[in-house]
Amino acid sequence: MSHPTEPDRAYAGAIEERTRTLVAGAAPEASPFGGAPSDLADDVERGAEDLGDRLRHVVQHLHAHPETAFEEHHSAMLLHQELARHGIDARLGVHGVETSVRAETGGADRGPTIAILAEYDALPGIGHACGHNVIAAAGLGAFLALAAVADRLPGRVVLLGTPAEEGHSGKEVMARNGAFEDVDAAIMVHPYGYDLADQVWLGRRLLTLTFTGVEAHASAQPFMGRNALDAVSLAYQGIGLLRQQLPPSDRVHANITDGGQSPNIIPGRAVMKLYARSRQPATLKDLSARLEDVARGAALMTGTGVELQWDEYPPSLPIRTNTALTGRWVAAQQRRGRSPLPLGVVSETLAASTDFGNVSYRIPGIHPLIRIADPATALHTREFAVAAASGAAESAAVDGAVGLALTALDYLLDAPLREAVHAEFQAQGGPIDVPSYFA
């Protein structure tokens, strides 16, 4: 018996080294906008700080009771109860998702409306290894701090508890059921190993390829068969060869979930599932077309049939970041002694995907990262799950709450900022029709 070879650390080490150099030389980018009046901002910051005990409770309670996508009944109820403690009557199970939460505060007139998003789903097997318990606490804290000054807000703040981020694009389901129709901008924060104002997030689609062949006795009459396993194998090789011509940040990763049952039967059915990821909606669309060609080519070569099923769960788009809003997040974090670093400091090689991307192509938004762990600690590891219940996670919940609350406050009270936010969004191409984008 032999063993896998040890992956060499040289490439990862070089990325870490380069990141260390960039971090040492980087500085937060200043916002050209003034934001909300300072007395109101001070009150909101103090309000969020005063919620510290409740936010620490939410961080720990969610962490101790992890629930996976669409099963977050207890987590949603916890947010509902915490809102009720503060006299907020939230709704459960809105916008087509049973475990969602929605609450509103602020001006009675329509006015500008900003949403604060709170995730709370965990990962199967390793609990809150993505730290969504911290996201929930930060979002809740920001909303409550703003609700405490509701009579001084010229617009509305909506708290949206958004389940099933991991693998299921819960926000897209909610968006298709009207969650953002009366919302002008959306903000959230995600825990990480660094304080980052912005980071690359790739768009992601799931493709299932089902090849149908003709079963035959593999020894007696192989010439009467059409081999579906050969087809799936050729598709896998085709993807491997395609990689050389893909942009460096594209990712394609697959597994074969059905390759036949018995070696003495030519397989009549074989199935491969793959994720395709890319940096722009347009490049993801192009990658999708290339993968379809590979699948059809494999079917043609083997005389099999192929069914292509895209997006069993709604796709995630990459994140389109709004830099005007990012500037206000950075200003708020600097009040907390944090220095969120600009895009490009941490390598985009480390990019993953999030359903917030789908929100960010509908309305302006930000998805900054807040530090709760060592830089080397990757998301979705047991080490990150430990960090998500640490004192650093509790501090990040409070600092994140302050950051989101002040960013929302700035958006509602600083009209030139608000105009810049929407002008930037239009200059980026304006909203896209997400549900039909890949159709």
Judged by the rule CB under 5 A, the positions of this chain that interact with Zn ion are 130
| Minimum CB distance to Zn ion, residue 117 (Å) | 12
| Minimum CB distance to Zn ion, residue 8 (Å) | 26
Spatial distance between the Cα atoms of 206 and 134, rounded to a whole number of angstroms? 28
Spatial distance between the Cα atoms of 343 and 355, rounded to a whole number of angstroms? 19
Q: CB nearer to Zn ion: give 63 or 226.
A: 63
Choose among 154, 127, 143: nearest CA to 65.
127
What kind and span of H or E run contains 232?
helix 228-242
Q: CB nearer to Zn ion: give 199 or 227.
A: 199
| Minimum CB distance to Zn ion, residue 239 (Å) | 24
Q: Which residues of 52-87 are buried (b: 16+ CB within 10 A; e: fewer)?
A: eebbbbbbbbbbeebbbbbebeebbebbbebbeeee
Q: CB nearer to Zn ion: give 130 or 153.
A: 130
| Minimum CB distance to Zn ion, residue 174 (Å) | 16
What pairs with residue 185 in β-bridges? 114
Q: CB nearer to Zn ion: give 121 or 230.
A: 121
Q: CB nearer to Zn ion: give 97 or 231.
A: 97
The residue to which tokens 């040890």 are assigned:
6
| Minimum CB distance to Zn ion, residue 353 (Å) | 9
What pairs with residue 253 in β-bridges? 275
Q: CB nearer to Zn ion: give 130 or 149.
A: 130
Helices (H), 305-380: 323-335, 356-360
| Minimum CB distance to Zn ion, residue 163 (Å) | 12
Amino acid at 17: E
| Minimum CB distance to Zn ion, residue 338 (Å) | 19
- Name the token pair of 285: 């669309």
Choose among 285, 282, 270: nearest CA to 235.
270
* Segments of 85-155 assigned E as strands: 91-92, 101-106, 113-118
| Minimum CB distance to Zn ion, residue 430 (Å) | 27
Q: Which residues of 89-118 are buried (b: 16+ CB within 10 A; e: fewer)?
A: ebebebbebebbbbbbbbbeeeebbbbbbb
Rg (alpha carbons) of the chain, rounded to whole number: 24
Q: CB nearer to Zn ion: give 101 or 130.
A: 130
Strands 365-366 and 156-161: unpaired
Number of residue whose CB is nearest Zn ion: 130
Q: CB nearer to Zn ion: give 201 or 411.
A: 201
Is 128:58 a contact under the CB 8 Å cutoff? Answer: no
Q: CB nearer to Zn ion: give 130 or 186.
A: 130
| Minimum CB distance to Zn ion, residue 260 (Å) | 33
| Minimum CB distance to Zn ion, residue 191 (Å) | 8
The residue to which tokens 């260390």 are assigned:
20
Q: CB nearer to Zn ion: give 35 or 400.
A: 400
| Minimum CB distance to Zn ion, residue 334 (Å) | 24
DSSP 41-61: HHHHHHHHHHTHHHHHHHHHH
Q: CB nearer to Zn ion: give 130 or 147.
A: 130
Spatial distance between the Cα atoms of 421 and 418, rounded to a whole number of angstroms? 5
CA distances from residue 171 to 32, 97, 175, 356 in whole angstroms, order as listed:
31, 9, 6, 7
Choose among 79, 289, 111: nearest CA to 183.
111
